[in-house]
Structure formats: structure tokens, C-alpha cells
Chain A
Amino acid sequence: NAGVTQTPKFQVLKTGQSMTLQCAQDMNHEYMSWYRQDPGMGLRLIHYSVGAGITDQGEVPNGYNVSRSTTEDFPLRLLSAAPSQTSVYFCASSYSQGGGYEQYFGPGTRLTVT
């Protein structure tokens, strides 16, 4: 299994540009989520999904959109990039949203917005 994969690894955007961060998992996990991590900080939850066609907001959803058309993929869209969105973005998946299951994380995408 490849686990959780994310592309691209690095990205530089200009203010106002849009882009999509890709996330895929091959473990048939129902639950997927996106986090951002600012320098020296812990991870903050952006959006999550408990299955195909179902998404919900986390702690910091503003400026981001998600959709879940398949079990495997959970892309994160930045609608109009701002310097405040400069961060490292992590995607994660878990068999279920329930507490008894561990969560697996991708390697991250480092995004810089100038």
C-alpha cells in the first residue's frame, strides 16, 4: 500500500491565484481530513469527510473548498490564495471517524503565497 499520498510537495502561488492540493489513499478508508500547520504550531483541522459525497467544516475552513466524489480522493481547493494561507498542508485518513481507529497522515504540501 502507498498509504496517503499528496501532490505537489511544494508550491508557490501569487496572491489571488487558485489551486488544488491533491490527496489520495489506497486503504479504503471512509474518513479523510485536511489540516494546516503554521510554523511552530500544532495542526489545525480545515475540512473533513466521513465518506464519498459527505464533507464538513473543521476549525479553519474559510478560503478552502473540498469535495469527495470517490472513497480514494479528497482534494483541497484554494479559491483565491492569500499570504495568510502560507502553511504546510497535511491530508489524513482513517478507517472510521470513531475514536478506536488510528489516523494516517500524508507527507505534506508546503505552500507559499507571495
Chain B
Amino acid sequence: DAKTTQPNSMESNEEEPVHLPCNHSTISGTDYIHWYRQLPSQGPEYVIHGLTSNVNNRMASLAIAEDRKSSTLILHRATLRDAAVYYCILRYGGSQGNLIFGKGTKLSVKP
């Protein structure tokens, strides 16, 4: 499975944008980039995913580099509820697409 590299932790101020980086230099052409987050004492929650083009949904935006070796999850206005561990995961596009979790980035949001 292709691996991802994320910072261990990041801090943000409430109501400011947050850019969470992820490096995946060994990504293959059929790997999708997935982001999940886990709030304290809860199960992981799907945030967004993409293949080649940038993606937007009601929770966040995903910016994918042109060479696909890195991506950035963008939270447009951080709230206290966004404090969580964020996982960037490559999911194979074929029939063996298990989600393999790393350690993620712990995001703290200050009021």
C-alpha cells in the first residue's frame, strides 16, 4: 500500500482557514486520495476524496497537486468542533482498496 506523510499536529484559530498537508510521493495512477477525521471518543468520519481534480463538498475542499504527489485538505473556517485527528489515506481504485490508516494530524482549534 502506498504510504502518506502528514505532520503530527497543527494549530489553528477559530474562524480562520486551515490547510492540512499530505505527501504521497509513491501514489499510483489508480489510487484515490481519501480524508477522514476522528473526533475524540468517536469513530472516524468521511470528509472528502478525489482522484485527480480538486474537489469541494459541504465539509471541506481537497486540493490535489498536478503530479498527485501531494494534496491539501482545506477547512474554510475552522470551528471548535473541527478539532480532531485528520487522516490522509490512499485507497486503491481496484478490487483491493482497503483503507490503511496512519497516525494522522491532530488539529487543535483555539477560540
**A residues with CB within 8 A of B:** 33, 35, 41-45, 48, 50, 58-59, 90, 92, 96-100, 102-108
Contact = CB atoms under 8 A, between A and B. Distances in A.
B101 A44 contact: yes
Which 6 residue pairs spanning A and B have beta carbons closest together?
A: A99-B32, A105-B43, A99-B93, A99-B91, A42-B101, A102-B46
Interface of B: 30-32, 34, 36, 42-46, 49, 51, 87, 90-104
Given A92-B43, A97-B97, A103-B36, 7 more contacts: A97-B95, A99-B90, A102-B49, A103-B99, A105-B43, A106-B43, A107-B42
Contacts of A45: 98-100
Nearest to A40: B103
A58 B98 contact: yes
B53 to A, nearest CB: 13
9 contacts: A33-B99, A41-B103, A42-B103, A45-B99, A97-B97, A99-B34, A99-B51, A99-B97, A106-B43
